[in-house]
Structure 1
Amino acid sequence: MVRSVAYDCDVLVVGGGIVGLSTAYAITRAAPGTRITVLEKEAGPARHQTGRNSGVIHSGIYYRPGSLKARYAVRGAAEMVKFCAEYDIDHAVTGKLIVATERSELPRLHALVQRGRENGIPVRELGAAQIAEYEPEVRGLAAIHVGTTGICDFVGVARRLAEASGAEIRYGAQVVRVDRRPSLGVAVQTGGGDVVRARVLVNCAGLYCDKVARLTGDEPGMRIVPFRGEYYSLARPELVRGLVYPVPDPAFPFLGVHLTRGVDGGVHVGPNAVPALAREGYGWGVVRPLEIASTLGWPGAWAIARRHWRYGAGELRRSVSKGAFAAAVRRLLPAVADEDLVPAAAGVRAQAVLRDGTLVDDFLIKEGARAVHVLNAPSPAATASLPIGREVARRALAVLGSV
């Protein structure tokens, strides 16, 4: 005898950031009539990674050709500009400079040119004298100009996706328990005691995606290790016209301290990358011992520390010393003084780390029984959110069709 189950929805999305909301939006368009519920523990959308980044629409130049990041960022950048224009969301296609300030960086800069061309991105190579055409105050030995980079209001995008998705969105609904039975579906209990029953669960929980996967009964094979990115605002924004980046270290998924003129006209400076003492640890004063213990209990965290302690020491120094941070900025912008840097809100990157200490470099999406888990979606996930949402929606609908 088959037990009859009354489902509250067909697809339950955990997480109201830009990826979760894009997934709900994509499901609605691919399969009208699908009942979707989104659970978000905060009082509104996009309160964490989505709303605490530089607001950059990335071109896709950094990412390995053929990877999800490369394909989705290139496609997503164009789609994001179109989406913002269609829904009257603040945005601009500004272009950006990637600047080499030391000779040792020149081979890496040239490699980025080649990578950009492989990814189909128009790139202009600049000599030292040509940098001033774009940024008169910036100094370097050489640079490349990437014309498809832009900026936008990602929180505004998330709000519009929420409105257009047609989903029931429940804010203040933190997932505390998941009961999954392949023959019956998924029941999720929230901190308020509500129970939501669904045919399929989609995990877009960002900083807590590994925890939600384990609540579901799936072992994700990775853990989120949180890295805080600290920012300053530039007191003299006239020093920067657009976006200026250093040449990144290919060993890390971080792009280095950069300068970003946002849609509000202000200039963000940062971020650095330091271990956070909580998954939502936006300052050194936010400490959650259980989350620290979870991180330290993962062998990959210790492997990172052993392998990259020198890099980490430099990041920590810039975290505790404004002078050290300003010195890093002056490599690109010599006119910056310590007093030009005004503390701004920090962000936390949800970085997936494998057991052996490998930093997962690409987007990572896995499926389980009646579940789809988005397990690594840091930057450029906001840029790529529309194609990521379609891919997650495709998988969720395939799972839905099989049950």
Structure 2
Amino acid sequence: MADAASAGPATRDSPWPVAEMSEKIAAWIDRLGQVWIEGEVTQWQVRGGHVYGKLRDLQRDATISFTVWRSVAQRLTSDFAQGDRVVALVKPNFWVKGGSLTVQVLDISHVGIGELLERLERLRRQLQAEGLFDADRKRRLPFLPGRIGLVTGRDSDAEKDVVRNATLRWPGVQFTIRYAAVQGDRAAAEVTAAIEALDRDPEVDVIVVARGGGDFQNLLPFSDERVVRAASAAATPIVSAIGHEADRPLLDEVADLRASTPTDAAKRVVPDVGEELAGLDQARARLTTRLGQVLAHETDRIAQLRGRPVLAAPDRLVDERAEELVRWVARGAELADRAVEDRRRALVEARGRLTALSPRATLERGYAIAQIVDGSGAAGAVLRDPAEAPTGTAIRLSLADGSLDAVAAEPR
């Protein structure tokens, strides 16, 4: 029956088998091939690296389920979530065995606002990788800028807010204003040119880029790469005062200071003269108090020093030291006399001992010293034995008070 039915169209009497109908459906769907579709993501779930989701038609009540296999999901460069508007390259498949339709996503990307956000996110990651958002690149604003450069729209509320509030805070502040389109196709080029012109002005100490908020698309010029790179390259500190909290443009990231509104920018760029004067008064009062405390302390110290005995009666110290000096002088003289006497006594004793040991004392008792006289007439060796001086030998006798020459006779 199945073979007969497959030969012709299906009827009540010759129905198709389920498998044949499923195969025909699969063949029809397969002939559709790959197709681009557009819709809104209503479900995006990641399980095991694969993505399972649903895509709804933008105008009609129609939804399909889709699958993004892990190999495709790993190549995606953007993040997707419920509510994103996307275009996707899909390949429909009919599963014969289960009788279900599956849609395999081969590529997917944002469109409309989502596409803009995707491009901005890529640019943000690129600039961040280059280090343009690093905190150590942020420069400190001058305490009191002599001249403020302002980039804003002509006759805009932002201009009035910045100028009025800055002047109220510091009446002497001066401005150099460069007008530029703050939305539309001309905005990025004009804002870039204004930043570069003010940066070249040597009198400008800080540059404020101001706009009074706006929707996402109106703020796109302040995320333009030309504007961001001009602000990054400027040698003058940049203040971003776009005035939009929800969608922060890239200029906020690269600026040296981000102000929430133009009014906030004016408050943060110049100090308040009233506050500074009050601060000066407080500092002067603290200085006066501190100086009074130091003077009082030093006065007390001088009084204490003057009350000490050495200053109250200064001659007393001199008298005490004079008496002590007299005692030491007397003691020194006494010790000197004693030392001289001791040395004199020792000298007398040494002289007596030396005299007792001297040959002269022996000579004074009548003794003589006999010495042989050599051929030159000089006295030589002392005679101790008569045999040492044969008869006729010249002899010199040393006495206590002189000497005599003699000739040895025959010994007895």
Q: TM-score, normalised by structure 2?
A: 0.20
**Structure number with bigger Rg:** 2
Higher relative contact order (CA 8 A, sep 6+): 1
Higher fraction of strand:
1
Q: TM-score, normalised by structure 1?
A: 0.20
